[in-house]
Amino acid sequence: MISFFKTTTLLLTFSLTSFTNNAFSHHAFAAEFDRDKPISFTGTVTEMKWANPHAWIYVDVENSNGEIINWALETRAANNLIRLGWRPGDLPVGTILQIQGWQARNNTPTASLSAATLPDGRPLFSNSPN
């Protein structure tokens, strides 16, 4: 009887901790990004990572000292982008984007992307890339 109780308790504990870790793995916007720190710049795409809960775009940006800073921009979820018709190869390295968003609270070159515009004036991720 004690062995059954221990086994049941261990399985229940493992199950509950597994589910709660997944539930808390997605952050609240305000926990990571600061609406009082808007960013706006032009950058050149160096990489795009398709992941969940968010896809990431990395862009090189020249600062006021002429240094190149690589910014990490959090975007929508990859599955959301796929539903819009986007695929991993649709934003090639070298694409120039006009970026708007909010910087991370830790003052690193990380931001939540609120809007990005392609060189032809189309908004990024608003619809199919074609």
Which two tokens mark 108? Answer: 């690193």
How high is the pLDDT of residue 105?
A: 94
Residue 53 is predicted with a pLDDT of 87
Distance separating alpha carbons of residues 73 and 67, to the nearest angstrom: 19
For domain 29-117, give the fold: OB fold (Dihydrolipoamide Acetyltransferase, E2P) (2.40.50)
Higher-pLDDT residue of 17, 52: 52
What average pLDDT does the segment 118-130 reach?
79
What is the reported pTM?
A: 0.74
Name the residue with tokens 């830790």.
106
